Amino acid sequence: MIKPHGSDELNALYVADEDQRAALLEEAEGLPSLLLNSAAAANAVMLAAGYFNPLTGYMNLADALSVAENMHTVDGLFWPVPIVNMTSESGIEAGSRIALRDPNAEGSPVLAIMDVEAVESVSEEQIDFMAEKIFRSDDANHPGVATFKSLGRTLLSGPIQVLGFSYFQSDFPETFRTAVEIRAEIAKNGWDKVVAFQTRNPMHRAHEELCRMAMNDLDADGILIHMLLGKLKPGDIPADVRDASIRKMVDVYFPANTVMVTGYGFDMLYAGPREAVLHAVFRQNSGCTHLIVGRDHAGVGDYYGGFDAQTIFDEEVPDDALELEVYKADHTAYSKKLDKVVMMRDVPDHSMEDFVLLSGTKVREMLGEGIAPPPEFSRPEVAQILMDHYKSLDS
How do residues 192-247 score in pLDDT, each as one tens digit?
999 999 998 899 999 999 999 999 999 999 999 999 998 877 777 888 899 999 99
Lowest mean pLDDT among 56-70, 234-248, 328-342, 378-392: 234-248
What percent of the chain shows pLDDT beyond 70?
100
CA distance 263 to 227: 4
Asked if residue 361 has pLDDT above 90, the reply is no
State the average pLDDT over residues 263-267.
Answer: 96
Q: pLDDT tens across 150-187, in order?
A: 999 999 999 999 999 999 999 999 999 999 999 999 99
pLDDT of residue 144: 96
User: Which residues, 6 or more positions from 33, have their beta carbon under 8 angstroms from its beta carbon?
Assistant: 98, 99, 100, 101, 110
Nearest to 255 by CA among 310, 195, 190, 208: 208
- The mean of the pLDDT values for the chain is 95
C-alpha distance across the termini of the chain, in Å: 49
Q: Is the pLDDT score of 370 beyond 80?
A: yes
C-alpha 77/C-alpha 71 separation (Å) is 8
Rounded distance between C-alpha atoms, residue 175 and residue 240, angstroms: 10
Q: Give the pLDDT of residue 395.
A: 66
Residue 22 has pLDDT above 80, yes or no: yes
Mean predicted confidence (pLDDT) in 14-37:
97
- Among 116-125, 321-330, 358-367, the range scoring the smallest mean pLDDT is 358-367
Q: What is the pLDDT of residue 359?
A: 83
Asked about 247 being catalytic, the answer comes back as no
The residue from 200, 212, 247, 364 that is catalytic is 200
Which residue out of 11, 153, 201, 364 is catalytically annotated? Answer: 201
Rounded distance between C-alpha atoms, residue 186 and residue 90, angstroms: 44
Residue spans of alpha helices (H) in the chain: 18-28, 38-48, 61-70, 124-135, 143-148, 168-171, 179-189, 205-218, 239-253, 273-285, 308-315, 360-368, 380-394
Average the pLDDT over 308-322 and give the result.
97
pLDDT of residue 247: 95
Please state the rounded mean pLDDT for residues 375-393.
92
pLDDT of residue 311: 97
Q: Pairing relation of β-strands 332-335 and 33-35?
A: unpaired
pLDDT the model gives residue 368: 87
pLDDT value at residue 36: 98
Q: Which residues contact 227 (CB under 8 A, 6 or more apart)?
A: 175, 198, 199, 200, 239, 242, 243, 246, 261, 262, 263, 264
Q: 360 pLDDT exceeds 70?
A: yes
Residue 291 near residue 323, CB atoms below 8 Å:
no
CATH architecture of 18-166: Roll (3.10)
Span 270-298, average pLDDT = 96
Position 394 pLDDT exceeds 80: no
Average pLDDT over residues 341-353: 94
Query: What residue type is assigned to position 201 of the chain?
Result: N
Q: For the chain, how many residues are written? A: 395
Report d(CA 266, CA 160) in Å as an integer.
17
| Domain spans, the chain | 18-166, 175-264+272-394
Q: Do the beta carbons of residue 100 and residue 160 sit within 8 Å? A: yes
Q: What is the model's pLDDT at position 391?
A: 87
Which CATH number applies to 175-264+272-394? 3.40.50.620
Please indicate whether residue 201 is annotated as part of the active site. Answer: yes
- Write down the pLDDT at residue 79: 98
